Structure 1
Amino acid sequence: MVENKHNQKINVLSVYFDNVTLVDMRLNVKNYFEQQQQQSLFIVTANPEIVDYASNNKGYRDLINSADYVIADGTGVVKASRLLKTPLSERVPGIELMEECLKLAHTNKQRVFLLGSKDEVVSQARNNLSAKYPNITFAHHHGYIDLDDNNVLASIKDFDPDYVFVAMGYPKQEQWINKYGNQFKHTVLMGVGGSLEVFGGVKKRAPKLIRKLNLEWVYRVVIDWKRLGRTKSIPIFLYKVWKQMRSK
C-alpha cells in the first residue's frame, strides 16, 4: 500500500514489527494525511495470541507482514523482542492508537466508520464517541457479516471515510482490510479487536496502575473468565520464542 521508509523491523516468530512508540504512530498517521497519500494505510495491532496464530498460518502471516505498520499490542511481544536481543521500544495498545487517531480526526473534522461488534454495541460506541468528538462525522455497521458482503463495502465507500476501524477479531478483521483496502483512497484502516466494546461501555479497560505494571491481560481474564481458554496461546508463544532464541 503506502511506501514505508520509517524504521527497522523486529522479527518475532516471523512477524515483522515496527519499532515505534505511540507518539511515533500518532506522527506517522498525521504525516500520512498531510502528504495527501492516495493509497490506503493498513495498520495491524498484534498481540501474542495473534503472533502465535500467524506462526501456524502462512497466509495470515504474509497478510500481516504486508501491512504498512505492524505494532506490538501486547506486553508479551515486547518481552519476546527483548529476549531475542532486538528490543521493541514499547507496547503500543491498539485502543490507545485508535484514540490518538480519533483526536486527529476531531482536529481535522474528518469522517470515521466503525465496523464490528454487535449492532447495539457499535451503535452505543458511536453515540459515546460522537459526544466526545463532536467534530467527527461517524457512521457504523455491525461486524456479523460475510467477507464477501459487497453491500456493506458499498455503504462504507459511499460514506467516504478517512478512517475505518474494524473490530471483528483476528483473523477476520485483517482479512477484511486486506481484501478491500485498495477500494479506498486516502484512508487509514486498522483492526481494533474489542475496542468498540470498551467505547460502547460493555467492557472496561484495566486501571492505569495495572496497565503500567503490564498486567492488563491478567485483569481481562479476572473480569471475563471466557478469556481463560485463550490464554493457552501464551505458553505456546513463549515456547516458540525460546526456540527462536535457540536457533539464533
Structure 2
Amino acid sequence: MRTEVLGVKIDNYTIQETVMRIREAVEKKEQTWVVTANPELIFAAGRDARLKQLINRAQIVTPDGVGVVWAAKRLGHPLPERVTGIDLIESLFPVAAERKWRIFFLGSKPGVAELAARKVTEQYPGIVCQTQHGYFQPEEQPEIIERIQTFQPQLLLAGLGAPRQEFWIASHLDLATVSIGVGGSFDALAGLNKRAPQWIRNIRLEWLYRLLKQPQRIKRQMVLPKFAWRVIKQGKKEEQNHTRRSR
C-alpha cells in the first residue's frame, strides 16, 4: 500500500519490513530500485515531471525524514515511521554480513566511500566491498560501469546527491540486484559527519542538529516551508473534492 505526497507514492513499510523486502529481492534475484524520498526530493519532483515519473517507477520508495511522515499524516494516510537512507543501510549491514553480500559504494568525495566501506567491513567482516568516488568525469563512466558489472554487487549504494543519484540509478538498473540512493550517508558511515545522539533522533529533531552542525545546509532547509505549504494546499484540495463528492 502506498501513500501519495505531492504526487510521489511512498510505501507504507516499517524499516524492518523494508529490510525484509530487500533481502527477499536479493535472494530471488529480483531487480529492485529503492528511493529514499525526503521532502527536498519530493518538492523537486513536483517541479520536474520526469523526476516524479522516475521515482514512481521505483519498486520501493521510503519516507526519508520526519517531514514526509508529517505530510502523510496531514493528508490522512499516516505512515508507521520514517525510513532514512542511513538508517536503512545500517539495518541492512547485519543481513549483508550474514549472507556475504557484495556491496558497491558509489559517491561522495575522493576517499570518503573508501573510508566508509573500510569501517563497515571492520564491523561486518562478511561483507565484500568495492568503492568509487562520485567526482568522476563522463569519459571515466564506461570503466566504472565495467568495474561494477564485473563485481556483480547484490547492493549498489549511490551517494551522488539527489536528484543526480536517482537519474543515474534509473539509467543503470542492471548493475546490481538492489540499488539504493543514499545521499550523504557515506560521510556519516566514514565518521566525518556524526549523527545526532539517539535521544535527539527519538524526538525527531535530527534535522535541527544537522543544521546547527552544518549551517551551510540552511539553503537546502529553506525548501521545507515550501514543502509544508504545498502539503497543506494538497490537503485542502482533497477535503474540497471529498465534500463535493459527498453532496
1:173 aligns with 2:165: yes
Question: Map of 1:42-57 to 2, 5 A cutoff?
Answer: 42-57=33-48
Q: Which has the larger radius of gyration?
A: 2
Aligned to 1:159: 151
- RMSD in angstroms over aligned alpha carbons? 1.2
**Of the candidates 73, 76, 98, which is equivalent to residue 89 of structure 2?**
98
- For 1:183 and 1:26, how far apart are their aligned partners in 2? 20
**Of the candidates 198, 204, 210, which is equivalent to residue 220 of structure 1?**
210
**Of the candidates 5, 9, 30, which is equivalent to residue 16 of structure 1?**
9
Q: 1:44 and 1:247, CA in 2 relative to 1: closer, same or farther beyond 3 A?
A: same
Superposition TM-score, scaled by structure 2 size = 0.93
Aligned residue for 2:222, secondary structure, equals: helix
1:147–1:176 contact (8 Å) kept in structure 2: no
Question: Map of 1:102-141 to 2, 5 A cutoff?
Answer: 102-141=93-132
- What runs of 5+ residues in structure 1 fail to find an aligned partner? 1-7
- For 1:206 and 1:143, how far apart are their aligned partners in 2? 25
Question: By how many angstroms is 1:119 displaced?
Answer: 1.6
**Of the candidates 44, 52, 69, which is equivalent to residue 61 of structure 1?**
52
- For 2:63 and 2:133, how far apart are their aligned partners in 1? 26
1:112–1:137 contact (8 Å) kept in structure 2: yes
Q: How many pairs are equivalent?
A: 237
- What runs of 5+ residues in structure 2 fail to find an aligned partner? 239-247
Question: By how many angstroms is 1:176 displaced?
Answer: 1.0
2:148–2:175 contact (8 Å) kept in structure 1: no
Aligned residue for 1:119, secondary structure, equals: coil
